[in-house]
Amino acid sequence: MANPEINEIVESLKDDIQRHVALTLGSDPFPPRKGRYYLGLCYSVRDRLLGQWIETQRSYYDSITKRVYYMSLEFLPGRFLMNYIQALGLEEVCREAVRDFGLDLDELLEEEWNPGLGNGGLGRLASCYMDSMATCKIPGYGYGILYDYGIFYQTIVNGYQHEGCDNWLRQDSPWVLRRGHFMFRINFYGRSEAYEDSAGHERFRWVDTESVMAMACDIMVPGHQNGHVTNMRLWKAISTRDFELEHFNRGDYIGAVQAKVESENISKVLYPNDTSPRGKELRLRQQYFFVAATFQDILRRFRKNNYSSFDCFPDQVAVQLNDTHPAISIAELMRILVDEEALTWESAWSICQKTFSYTNHTVLPEALETWSVELIGRMLPRHLQIIFEINHRFLDDVGKRFPGRVDLLRSLSLVAEGDGKQVRMAHLAIVGSHTVNGVAELHSQILKTRLFKDFNALYPGKFTNVTNGITPRRWLMQANPSLAELITSVIGDEWIHDLSHLSELAAHADDPEFQQRWQEVRKRNKKLLARYVLRKLGVGINPATLFDMHIKRIHEYKRQILNVLHVITLYNRIRSESLEHHVPRTVFFAGKAAPGYFQAKLIIKLINSVAQAVNGDSAVGNDLRVVFLPNYCVSQAEKLIPAADLSEQISTAGMEASGTGNMKFALNGALTIGTLDGANIEIREVVGEDNFFLFGHTESDVHRLHSGGYDPVQIYESNIELKKALDMISTGFFSPEAPDLFRPIVDSLLAHGDYYLVLADYAKYVAEQGNVSKCYEDRPLWTRMSILNTANMGKFSSDRSIMEYARNIWNVSPLA
Ligand SMILES: *Cc1c(COP(=O)(O)O)cnc(C)c1O
């Protein structure tokens, strides 16, 4: 590097790295070793951000501005190091510095463990939103839990998913700043006690509680080269000293230690379901622990500004509930305002409704969270009273407006009757919020017209839409440096903070020279991935084949099985030589199944069994390969997506709320084969119907078929290729050692009604896949379509989503 100024920056970074290796880690800096120098680099980069972070936090206080609290029990940030380096604009400097030590930056980056503090889409969305809040300078914080064990580590053993512990903090993370002096007491259990205050009013207090402490742990989230650093505050459970007194007095030292350790279990492990885990006491404890700690922090900040009254609370605080997981917040804020601050119920309720907004993420009935009245009553007795009071007043109001409508009261009630009463957390979130949003147009429409139809009639205007987005920093700039560089060379780099600039690429879609460069980038990415697959799985794949990817959580509604049926169909056509000309494909699957989800785990086994049969069949050769990549996570997505030709977004219409994987692919120039579901619809709208492979029944078709008359067996009987594929699965072609192994999968399709309508969409899907192959053979056509996908994805930046939340829901503006 010739520039003397840059040389100085490189030298000073090198000094810092070695100083940290010696003085922070206590290691000999010579000879330079990868693991140590990785950490040395982390600390050096962290140093450079900390000043900006302090500056940003101070600017919030100085401007006494309204802040947003984004509450989420899940975050999936992915690796931090490159994110920090690029936010600081230090990539070249870092490359040069570590190169001088004989190390390679890309190899150092691989040393970082993924913080798996989320299950999938919902957690990843929260992290994209943190990135955009920082880049758009929206004053706010992310709040969550610092789980010791994140989402399980998936390995595949003999084709089956095995779950391993993800002890991501085994080696201290350089990114987690523990605030040991910063703790709040969190209470549980006990009872609610009525008393009369000095004015003679009946009041309540929560007594005889057990407690645990919540310790703040902070992670910095930098904006892109704007000097703004947002804070993500994650709570860790630490035992109180109460146990010591209690047990030590009885001379029970071991008992004391044991009780302490047990109380710290609250933040031990992330629940691995991608829908909500039912009735698990520890999960409810996590939710309340998180909520109570966060609200003490919010109130601490609010009080710091010496407000004379709580009436201005909603002018200072906006709380976004990411799904219903933090919905107990509504009862907690009521408890604080009524019991502790002595506000009237009416004013407290008005403050609540002005403070909260709620994002719904699912319409699958089995995924809507409920908690038994018995459990809430035992763990949070005062909160249950408050929920009952909210419900009582709410139903009173409904009863007055719609006299005699008992059916309506039953459908709207926060408490579902039946054996074992349940609190419906979504209903609590809806009545306690000023705004409820779905995450894509179709999904928001379904909320209004089906799932929460009666609420929508009751509260016109409360329901709205904010279509999800993804951060272009991680999902293009960082994940796909070659494509990012090509784009920047043609249209400049403004797209990084204003993604709508990508539209300038459209003018080049037919330019042969640009097409050529586009193709070269894609080929390079595919080669890199092929090398990764060879290293990880020992499977050789050909980068010249069509890379077809289905990577996401394994769930029946996402219909991996439909894709498998297509693979088997192709396999049969190849074997029977009935393909006129075949376009060779490599079909990638990746994704975790919830450990208790039998059917999803069996689908993983089936994919691996089909892969074994196909890849081992010499008659198939290069024409078809199937790979299942274990342990799907953000870092793996970053490797896979830039190499994809085809993105599989084939959920049953109406069931995928939005999807964000679909956006990542299209942004990186993959074409989508998809149903009219979630954000697919909006993606197709912007990229153009000619540049999207559409198939399948629509949401209203699905609704109609579910209402009666759908006969999957008749479809099976009348489609020869489908019948053959299903028969192979059910008679043990892919599991000769256990012919009945996959019976439950075929049974769900034929004997149990095929709820996800796999058979109903099979023929159209296979036909559209034929269309995909045909287009792929026309290189200029495919390349044009690919360019136009990227060019038109500007709408799906999470910056756009965040600005919509800020304007329409939070009523906050970016800091200057
Ligand atoms: C984007 C992403 C998801 C969500 O993918 P969908 O296809 O929208 O379900 C899940 N997990 C990871 C690691 C992701 O990066």
SS (H, E, C) 123-183: HHHHHHHHHHHHHCCCCEEEEEECCCECCCEEEEECCEEEEECCCCCCCCCCCCEEEEEEE
Domain co-membership, 202 together with 105? no
Residue 517 is assigned to a structural domain of this protein: yes
Protein residue with its CA nearest to atom 1 in ligand 1:
661
Helices (H), 3-33: 4-19
Considering the domain architecture, whether residues 312 and 191 belong to the same structural domain is answered as: yes
The ligand 1 atom at the shortest distance from the C-alpha of residue 121 is 4
What element of type H or E holds 673? strand 671-674
- Asked if residue 105 and residue 136 are part of one domain, the reply reads no
Q: Which of 553, 560, 633 to mutate for ligand 1's pocket (most ligand atoms within 8 Å of CB)?
A: 553
> Cβ(139) to ligand 1 under 6 A?
no
Partnered with residue 320 across adjacent β-strands are 70, 357
Residue 553 annotated to the active site: yes
User: What average pLDDT does the chain have?
Assistant: 95
Q: Are 639 and 536 in contact (CB under 8 A)?
A: no
Q: What CATH number corresponds to the domain at position 287?
A: 3.40.50.2000
Q: Considering 435, 660, 672, 790, which one is annotated as catalytic?
A: 660
SS3 794: helix
pLDDT digits (tens, 9 = 90+) for 693-736: 999 999 999 999 999 999 999 999 999 999 999 999 999 999 99
- Does 668 share its domain with 573? yes
Between the CA of 771 and the centroid of ligand 1 the distance, in Å, is 26
Could you tell me if 101 and 148 lie in one domain?
no
The verdict on residue 213 lying in a domain is yes
User: Looking at the structure, do residues 103 and 148 belong to the same domain, yes or no?
Assistant: no
| pTM for the predicted model, two decimal places | 0.97
Residue 250: the pLDDT is 72
Using the mean position of ligand 1's atoms as its centre, give its distance from the Cα of residue 487 in Å.
Answer: 24
Residue 444: the pLDDT is 98
Q: Please return the burial class of 401, using the count of CB atoms within 10 Å of its CB with bins 0-12, 13-18 and 19+.
A: exposed
**690 within some domain:** yes
The per-residue pLDDT for range 492-517, each reduced to its tens digit, is 999 999 999 999 999 999 999 999 99
d(CA 661, CA 654) in angstroms, rounded, equals: 17
Nearest-angstrom CA–CA distance, 52 and 61: 15
Is 734 a member of any domain?
no
Last residue within a domain, chosen from 54, 88, 113? 113
Same domain, 245 and 233: yes
Q: Quick one: pLDDT band at residue 572, thresholds 50, 70, 90?
A: very high
State the distance from the centre of ligand 1 to the C-alpha of 656, rounded, in angstroms. 12
- Give 2's pLDDT tier (boundaries 50, 70, 90): low
**Which structure tokens are listed for 394?**
């709410």
Residues 420, 415: Cα–Cα separation, whole Å: 10
pLDDT at 794: 98
Of ligand 1's listed atoms, the one at least distance from the Cα of 633 is 13
Query: Per-residue pLDDT averaged across 482-486, rounded?
Result: 98
How many domains does the chain fold into? Answer: 3
User: 501 forms bridges with which residues in the sheet?
Assistant: none
Q: Which atom of ligand 1 approaches the CA of 558 most closely? A: 9
Please give the pLDDT value at position 273. Answer: 79
The answer to whether 425 and 324 are in contact (CB under 8 A) is yes
Q: Which of 327, 348, 366 is the last residue of a domain?
A: 327
| Res 767: pLDDT | 97
pLDDT above 80 (res 277): no
- Residue 412 lies inside a defined structural domain of this protein: no
Q: Are residues 629 and 507 in the same domain?
A: yes
Does the C-beta of 552 come closer than 6 Å to ligand 1?
yes
Considering the domain architecture, whether residues 57 and 136 belong to the same structural domain is answered as: no
- Whether 410 is in a domain gets the answer no
Q: Which residue has the least CA distance to atom 6 on ligand 1?
A: 661
Q: What's the domain range around 166?
A: 67-77+115-327
664 is catalytic: yes
| Residue 810 within a domain | no
pLDDT in tens, 282-312: 999 999 999 999 999 999 999 988 777 899 9
Distance 663 CA to ligand 1 centre (A): 10
Do 103 and 165 belong to one domain?
A: no
CA torsion sign for 475, 476, 482, 483 is: positive
User: Do 175 and 101 reside in the same domain of the chain?
Assistant: no
Judge whether residue 313 has pLDDT over 90: yes
Percent of the chain clearing pLDDT 90 (strictly above): 90
- Residue 105 shares a structural domain with residue 141: no
pLDDT, residue 1, reads 47
Q: Is the C-beta atom of 633 inside 6 A of ligand 1?
A: yes
Mutate to test the pocket of ligand 1, among 83, 124, 273, 475 (most ligand atoms within 8 A of CB): 124
- What pLDDT is attached to residue 274? 66
Residue 56 tokens read as 């940003």
Q: For residue 121, how far is its CA from the centre of ligand 1 (angstroms)?
A: 4
59 pLDDT more than 60: yes
Q: What whole-number distance in Å separates Cα of residue 711 and Cα of residue 268?
A: 46
Tens digit of each residue's pLDDT (9 = 90 or more) over 632-668? 999 999 999 999 999 999 999 999 999 999 999 999 9
- In this predicted structure, which of 72-76, 171-175, 735-739 has the lowest mean pLDDT? 171-175
pLDDT in tens, 318-363: 999 999 999 999 999 999 999 999 999 999 999 999 999 999 999 9
The domain boundary, picked from 327, 352, 374, lies at: 327
> Is there a domain that residue 759 lies in?
no
* pLDDT one-digit tens code per residue, 225-274: 999 999 999 999 999 877 666 666 777 788 778 888 889 999 999 998 76
Tokens 């190849």 label which residue?
Answer: 574
**pLDDT at site 276:** 64
Res 323: pLDDT:
98
Task: Assess whether pLDDT exceeds 90 at residue 62.
Answer: no
